[in-house]
Amino acid sequence: MTDIDPARRAALFDVLRAQRIETPSWAYGNSGTRFKVFAQDGVPRNPIEKIEDAAKVHELTGIAPSVALHIPWDRVDDYAALRTHAEGLGITLGAINPNVFQEDAYRLGSVCSPDAGVRRKAVDHLLDCVAIAEQTGSTVLSVWLADGLNYPGQDDLRARQDRLAEGLREVYDQMPDGLRMLLEYKFFEPAFYATDVPDWGTSLAHCLELGPAAQVLVDTGHHAPGTNIEFIVAFLLRAKRLGGFHFNSRFYADDDLIAGAADPFQLFRIMHEVAQGGGLDRATGVEFMLDQCHNIEPKIPAMIRSVCNVQEATAKALLVDSAALRTAQAEGDVLGANAVLMDAYNTDVRPLLAELREDMGVDPDPMAAYHRSGYQQRIVAERVGGDAAGWGA
């Protein structure tokens, strides 16, 4: 058991109780790589069933009260009804993720395409998603563009930035008050030579040009190996342009594995910078979202594991003795400062989190509770026929 004084424990619990981690609708469906999508029994066949799975994750963890949608994967005729259904299950609809990367028209790009008609099509889809966000009550438009080039000379790099700025400007100017555009970057894939929003600097530059409702979305799987992601987080928090995260884990590329599974120390360092920079204060508006694809493992347990991994990293970050850290840093006590951080990281916070969960009225072991619930057996038995969610490959 972590021996921390009652006042500090209470403060820690207040922050952890308020933590909100959004799960992605697409992670409940079938997924895979360009080589194969492995179908699993019981996966949802429509947005309603995805929302039911997301609601189960929230019921068991207590800190996953919203689910991000992906359009058109989650297109429905009545978004207001979908919103009501979600709220009836105890969760809300979260970020709206436009999809301008899965139609033939987008072969040479979407918003950055050399073809004006394709750019029009892409911007219209983004505008549709703004309208959908208003119906779902979403406050985030989560924009990831797969746009890029495979060969030098294929297109004009600067002209593509002009097209990007023009397209985002049109969307930004149509956004209602209260909606934020989070512009996601990715250093490669599906384009292999150049990506039009490849890094945090490009995203930040466009966000600064657009206005205060545009912020950077940091997907933890979207950096070259060895990138110091926590530096990016600290910098963007200081610039008040950290819109949020797509948490996942990677060993080599955008692997979309369970958050914290590949490098729990990196996840802790990221959450330490978030905690130190005020990012856990709801008022700063940092969105903590998962973006994963559970290709070979059962979907809902993987999601529970991911939510708990982010929660665990947060708890450890909150255990950092900030006063001792500041003192050691000010004194140039290199080993002392590092030791303060490592003390927190090396603390087993699982007993503390079990206590927190009991305090919150949820099972101290969400994973065991899921396996006891019979939910997996129920969805496998009930979800027979129809078209399982996912994408072909």
Provide the binding-site residues for ligand AFD, judged by CB under 6 A: 70, 97, 144, 184, 186, 219, 246, 254, 256, 291
Binding span for Mn ion by CB under 5 A among 13-21, 31-39, 215-223, 264-272: 215-223
Is residue 273 close enough to count as binding Mn ion by CB under 5 A? no
- Contact between 51 and 22 under an 8 Å Cβ cutoff? The reply is no
Least distance (Å) from Mn ion to the CB of residue 206? 17
Return the range that interacts with Mn ion (CB under 5 A); candidates 54-62, 162-170, 248-256, 379-387: 248-256
Query: Positive or negative CA dihedral for 229, 230, 231, 232?
Result: positive
Per-residue contact string for residues 285-304; x = within reach of Mn ion by CB under 5 A: ------x-------------
- Please, where are the H alpha helices in 137-263? 157-174, 200-210, 229-238
Query: Which of the choices Mn ion, ligand AFD, none does residue 97 contact, using the CB cut-off of 5 to 8 A by kind?
Result: ligand AFD
Which secondary-structure segment (H or E) carries 49? helix 47-61
Spatial contact of 140 and 180, defined as CB atoms under 8 Å apart = yes
What letter does residue 364 receive in the DSSP assignment? S
Nearest approach in angstroms of CB 26 to ligand AFD is: 6
From the CB of 97, what's the least distance to ligand AFD, in Å? 5
**Rounded distance, CA 271 to CA 1, Å?**
22
SS3 370: helix
DSSP at 249? B
Place of tokens 């998962």: 290
* Closer to ligand AFD by Cβ: residue 186 or 269: 186
CB of 246 to ligand AFD, least distance (A): 5
Contact segment (CB under 5 A) with Mn ion among 35-43, 122-130, 253-261, 306-314 equals 253-261
Residue 331 burial by Cβ neighbours in a 10 Å radius (0-12, 13-18, 19+): exposed
**Strand, helix or coil for residue 95:** strand
Choose the contact partner of 163 out of ligand AFD, Mn ion, none; CB within 5 to 8 A by kind.
Answer: none
Min separation Cβ 256 and ligand AFD, Å: 6
Distance CA 156, CA 149 (A): 10
Q: Which residue's C-beta sits nearest to Mn ion?
A: 246
Using CA atoms, how far apart are residues 332 and 6, in angstroms rounded to an integer?
31
Nearer to Mn ion (CB atom), residue 229 or residue 315: 229
Query: Which residue number is nearest to ligand AFD in terms of Cβ?
Result: 144
Stretch that binds Mn ion, among 58-66, 158-166, 251-259, 296-304 (CB under 5 A): 251-259
Q: Which CB atom, from 214 or from 319, has the smaller least distance to Mn ion?
A: 214
Name the token pair of 263. 């490098």
Distance of closest approach, residue 212 Cβ to ligand AFD, in angstroms = 22
CB 145 to ligand AFD: min, Å:
9
Residue placing its CB nearer to Mn ion in the complex, 219 or 273: 219
Q: Examine residue 219 and tell whether it contacts Mn ion (CB under 5 A).
A: yes
Residue 71 pairs in a beta bridge with 98
Q: Which residues pair with 217 in a beta bridge?
A: 184, 244
Q: Min. distance of Cβ 385 from ligand AFD in angstroms?
A: 27
Backbone φ and ψ of 318, nearest 5°: -75, -15
Shortest Å distance, C-beta 217 to ligand AFD: 8
Query: In terms of CB distance, is 60 or 236 closer to ligand AFD?
Result: 236
CA-to-CA separations, 74 to 92, 134, 252, 293, in angstroms, rounded: 14, 15, 29, 16
Q: Report the distance separating Cα 98 and Cα 378, nearest Å.
A: 31
Identity of the residue numbered 225: P
Choice between 184 and 363, CB closer to ligand AFD: 184
Q: Which is nearer to Mn ion, 155 or 219 (CB)?
A: 219
Q: Is 379 exposed, middle or buried (0-12, 13-18, 19+ CB in 10 A)?
A: buried
Residue numbers at the binding site for Mn ion (CB under 5 A): 219, 246, 254, 291
